[in-house]
Amino acid sequence: MVWPTIWRIVVVPIAFIISGLISLFVLVTLGLERITHAFHDAPMDEPDTVLAFFDLLTQGAILASGLTILPAFLVVVIGEVARIRSAVYYILGGGLGLVAMPFLAQVGTAGMAWPSPAVWQVFATAGFAGGFVYWLLAGRRA
């Protein structure tokens, strides 16, 4: 009775970290492709492009903050407490958790702007990948 509980206490954080790293990898690779296409169309000597680059760096720093990990953490906690074993729950929960990140990143700013469809696609795909990896490592034995 005690050993399975200790095993879950060890496995869940490790699986959460690994799935977060997989999500980050997918987010960076897909995001870099979109950013490269956007910057390739505009010359870098224009002031608007340079300001957009610094805005991109600022948004990246905000997304890397600890606030944006809360939706994924909630999905994992609810799944573990309710002992949900469904892959669909973790995959959709990971996707929805990452789709919420652009909104959480704008919480303290002056105006809320809707992200482009490319941003939705990149974040949802990264969340789906992270949710699937978490389910493979820890969720299917919840």
Please give the residue that has the higher pLDDT: either 71 or 15: 15
Residue 9 has pLDDT above 80, yes or no: yes
Q: What pLDDT, on a 0 to 100 scale, did the predictor assign at position 8?
A: 86
Tell me: the pLDDT tens digits for 65-100? 666 678 888 999 999 899 898 999 999 999 998 888
Alpha helices in the chain (DSSP H): 2-41, 47-63, 70-81, 87-99, 101-105, 117-137
Q: Give the mean model confidence (pLDDT) for residues 13-38.
A: 84
Q: What pLDDT, on a 0 to 100 scale, did the predictor assign at position 49?
A: 66
- CA separation for the pair 23, 127 (Å, rounded): 6
User: What does DSSP assign to residue 139?
Assistant: G
pLDDT category at 5 given cuts 50, 70, 90 is confident
Domain positions in the chain: 2-141
Closest by CA to 22, choosing from 128, 138, 140, is 128
Q: Give the mean model confidence (pLDDT) for residues 52-65.
A: 69
